Chain A
């Protein structure tokens, strides 16, 4: 494993993964649960263990909706969404690793699509 990944993810997220007591409430409330290979509680403990390459290679990092349900409902204030975000940033910040580019946008447009959808997706999926 790349030892810098864990350090960078902890720094970027600002999350203390040791606070997690494994209750699973974050994953239970996650609207993207069914779409994810690794679920919010797994992000927290896999980062704690340094088991990060699997997370970085997984499509799960693009399934978080940033709805803050896990952040709000965690009884320990762990804020799992920030860990998911930090893992995604660790991937897309690398050269050539943007998940969405401006060239992809025209094919995704329809007449009612709000600008909000485009700018939010660009912010989340590219650097």
Chain B
């Protein structure tokens, strides 16, 4: 199985663990992730303005590069996944935006949203399969109680993201079961950590993150897993030290279970 891969800016810097453990695990599972050449930063957030064109072009270039390679495009960072999916949807369904973007880019062939963008979790669920993953596990995380934190960007807007039920998702819980861990049931798993507001109002982000952390702890989790570098940052840096659970990338647990964590 060969896929094009879009790591994104943060995975090359502060979130190198998210990327590294994903690559090691993919290799173990027989999945080849080929990083796109010359990808550009997605911008971190999809601009909801329909008349915003330039801020979406980096995503369109990445989507078109995967199309030209004839491959599905795997993402890992929640924000990149959200931005690429929404840009792709706009290229397929917003005629005005698609026309303007294609008119500017003058690609060999117009891009109309043909690339299929799949998150690494979807790769595990839909291509590798959680049953096959379970069989590949050499060090099951037996007895480890983990809170799967989706945050906002993996699930919403669900009509575009289409990963799972936005209010009652199970993909991360099923992933945790496949690697032998015990997912915790908790309410705040799809609520916001405060996100980029940390740049504008650290107190607001702290308030949101603390609610997430408190709920995971109250429900008996010993750690939280996420796919988002900004969620990880907010939960680790903007919560009270007392009672703070470890926050990990889901790929770190995956690599541990597959015996490839260095």
Contact = CB atoms under 8 A, between A and B. Distances in A.
Interface in A29-55: 31-32, 35
A16 interface: no
Interface string A101-117: 00000001010111111
A79 B232 CA distance: 27
Contact of A35 (B51, B155, B201, B229): B201
A68 B153 CA distance: 8
Given A69-B156, A81-B48, A125-B200, A114 B195 contact: no
Given A67-B156, A119-B9, A114 B45 contact: no
Given A69-B192, A119-B43, A114 B15 contact: yes
B156 A121 contact: no
A14 interface: yes
Nearest to A66: B45
Nearest to A81: B48
Interface in A66-111: 66-69, 71-72, 79, 81-82, 85-86, 89, 99-100, 108, 110
Contacts of A68: 152-153, 156-157
Given A118-B44, A118-B199, 8 more contacts: A67-B152, A67-B195, A115-B14, A116-B230, A120-B45, A120-B79, A120-B196, A124-B45
26 contacts: A12-B50, A14-B50, A32-B197, A63-B197, A65-B194, A66-B48, A68-B153, A68-B157, A69-B156, A71-B156, A72-B157, A79-B157, A85-B48, A85-B49, A114-B13, A114-B230, A115-B10, A116-B9, A116-B15, A116-B77, A116-B79, A116-B229, A117-B195, A118-B44, A120-B45, A125-B200
